[in-house]
Amino acid sequence: MKTSLKIAMITSECVPYAKTGGLADVVGSLPQALQALGHEVIVVMPKYSSIDAEKFDLQRRFDSMGVWMGNFLEWCAVDEANNEGVATYFIEADKYFRRDGLYHDANYNDFGDNPARFGFLTRAGLQLMRDLDFAPDIVHVHDWQTALAPAYLKTWHWDDPVLGGAASVLTIHNIAYQGKYDAGVYPYLGLGWQNFHADTFEDFGAINFLKGGIAYADALNTVSPTYADETRTPALGYGLAPYLNDRGRDYSGIVNGVDYSEWNPATDSLIPANYDAFYLSGKTKCKRALQERFGLDISREIPIVGVVSRMVDQKGLDVLAAAIEGIVRDMAVQFVVLGSGDKGLEAFYGRLPLAYPGRIGSYIGYSNELAHWIEAGSDFFIMPSRYEPCGLNQIYSLKYGTLPIVRATGGLEDTVEQYDEATGDGTGFKFYDLNPGSIYSTVGWAVSTFYDRPAHMKRMIQHAMAQDYSWEKSARQYLQLYEQAMDNKPG
């Protein structure tokens, strides 16, 4: 492999500019880790109306850039910013990106022109590389929104003097979201009807962006080894398992890193007190502050179970809802819940503090500060996910000495080590069947450990806080994936 690669990422979101989920965290951190290892990286994303150009010091790079879409020449402008040393470019096209929301409106209805929006973003990203004369070794794209890039590289740009040498990598952050739309948009995308068939983009008469990306990418991955295995099965492949299995060793799993400059209790400026594995008095202060803020009974002797989650089907909070009242009635334990999404779940968790005063606190919505407080002040952190490609909160929890209680799926299985009651080893508590009984029993197991085996709790906390999921390790694995993609690229 070359000692220094030129890598271009095209993405629909990126921290700190725009975020709806873990994809943004990955694209915000991975390029910096790659550059720290000696490689040159650029990032291309939309200029959403929510992005504060003054705050992020966006500078105009191109006033006008033409982008061919099918038989149409579209025009856009391009701004540039510096994200911790990584050049980030913003595609400004008001008809596509100047609106509230990234993918859907306030009522969670997808924008009807999403396939055109993100097809344009992808083509514009490739055109920008040509206009910048940035000849990438790797074009790395993420999820369905930019999954057309591998096909464009092989159909439009195979002999391009700038893009012709680029190998493509597709990262699947959540296979449930595939970009499946009416095929009427296909001519605008300009990929040619000869490429619209059941082995590529065609999906029961519709177009499936992610399916096509799987077919054309030189290498592909998802965000944990277990999720890679799960998505090869009918249960969690969401119809794409046969196509992933066809790719064989070209498809793998790499666990996401985390940004320890933001998520580290020793340096976290958002929490009431700092601490580390050998000086935990600060965690005790954080626990008291959390109890005060959420109106819980003040006691260091009562364990707190934290929840920070989107209230969507994937996260299993409906199953937790069926167990939580029995847990607080039967066990000396407190809960703190932060999240939003499903209106029924919002109403349920929103009323719990009134039904169980001093035992349950909740905040419906999202607050980054409160998320940090919950990680720092809780004793346990529960994630009862139906599936979880990687998950980040359980990794944050490990660093904060807040032992995870998780369903053993995807990245939760890969990053949490099961507690061994005989030895005190482990970093958390895992269950396998997702039902109210399994949640009740596993929370009970954790709570009994808190009360009955404090030496084991201390041992687990120190072991958990010693875990290292920094981006450097993940970045090195991505470099191996890039090498594989370059080896796979047709001559």
What average pLDDT does the segment 228-248 reach? 97
User: Does position 482 have pLDDT exceeding 80, yes or no?
Assistant: yes
The owner of tokens 């929840």 is 307
Domains 6-257+471-488 and 281-465 share a fold: yes
Q: Contacts by 68-76 with C-beta closer than 8 Å and gap 24+?
A: 68/123, 68/127, 68/190, 69/116, 69/119, 69/120, 69/123, 69/188, 69/189, 69/190, 70/187, 70/188, 70/189, 70/190, 71/187, 71/190, 72/188, 74/120, 76/120, 76/124
The whole-number pLDDT of residue 3 equals 86
The fourth-level CATH superfamily of domain 281-465 is: Glycogen Phosphorylase B; (3.40.50.2000)
161-216: per-residue pLDDT in tens? 999 999 999 999 999 999 999 999 999 999 999 999 999 999 999 999 999 999 99
CATH number of 6-257+471-488: 3.40.50.2000
**pLDDT for res 106:** 82
List Cβ neighbours of 244 (8 Å cut-off, separation of 6 or more).
Answer: 214, 231, 232, 237, 251
pLDDT (mean) for 45-65: 96
What is the pLDDT, as a whole number, of residue 177? 95
What is the reported pLDDT for 2?
Answer: 78
Q: Confidence class of residue 229 from pLDDT cuts 50, 70 and 90?
A: very high
pLDDT at residue 1 in the model:
66
Tell me which residue of 415, 378, 403, 405 sits closest to 458, measured CA to CA: 403
**Integer CA distances (angstroms), 106 to 23, 48, 110, in order:** 21, 15, 10
Q: Is 264 left (phi over 0), alpha (psi -120 to 50) or beta?
A: beta
Give the model's pLDDT for residue 386: 97
What φ, ψ does residue 201 adopt, rounded to 5°?
A: -90, -20
Q: Which residues on adjacent β-strands are paired with residue 258?
A: 470
Domain boundaries defined on the chain: 6-257+471-488, 281-465
SS (H, E, C) the chain: CCCCCEEEEECCCECCCECCCHHHHHHHHHHHHHHHCCCEEEEEEECCCCCCCCCCCCEEEEEEEEEEECCEEEEEEEEEEEECCEEEEEEECHHHHCCCCCCECCCCCECCCHHHHHHHHHHHHHHHHHHHCCCCCEEEEECHHHCCHHHHHHHCCCCCCCCCCCEEEEEECCCCCCCEECHHHHHHHCCCHHHCCCCCCEECCEEEHHHHHHHHCCEEEECCHHHHHHCCCCCCCCCCHHHHHHHHHHEEECCCCECCCCCCCCCCCCCCCCCECCECHHHHHHHHHHHHHCCECCCCCCCEEEEEEEECHHHCHHHHHHHHHHHHHHCCCEEEEEEEECHHHHHHHHHHHHHCCECEEEEECCCHHHHHHHHHHCCEEEECCCCCCCCCHHHHHHHCCCEEEEECCHHHHHHCCECCCCCCCCCEEEECCCCHHHHHHHHHHHHHHHHHCHHHHHHHHHHHHCCCCEHHHHHHHHHHHHHHHHHHCCC
Please report the pLDDT score of residue 490 as a whole number.
Answer: 83
CA distance linking residue 431 with residue 349, whole number of Å: 23
Residue 179 has phi, psi (to 5 degrees) of 70, 55
Range in 82-96, 105-119, 211-225, 419-433 the model is least confident about: 105-119
C-alpha distances (whole Å) from 186 to each of 116, 119, 198, 204, 308 are: 9, 10, 14, 14, 39
The 3-state secondary structure of 348-365, one letter per residue: HHHHHHHHCCECEEEEEC
393-432 pLDDT tens trace? 999 999 999 999 999 999 999 999 999 999 999 999 999 9
C-alpha 130/C-alpha 374 separation (Å) is: 46
How far, rounded to the nearest angstrom, does the alpha carbon of residue 320 sit from its chain's CA centroid? 22
Q: CA triplet 60, 62, 64: central angle to 5 degrees? A: 125
- Burial class from Cβ neighbours inside 10 Å (0-12, 13-18, 19+) for residue 57 reads exposed
d(CA 337, CA 340): 10
Neighbour count for residue 45 (Cβ, 10 Å): 25
Mean pLDDT of the chain: 96
pLDDT digits (tens, 9 = 90+) for 243-295: 999 999 999 999 999 989 999 999 999 999 999 999 999 999 999 999 999 99
Percent share of the chain, pLDDT over 90: 96
pLDDT tens profile 23-35: 999 999 999 999 9
Interatomic CA distance for residues 346 and 338, integer angstroms: 10
pLDDT band at 109 (very low <50, low <70, confident <90, very high): confident
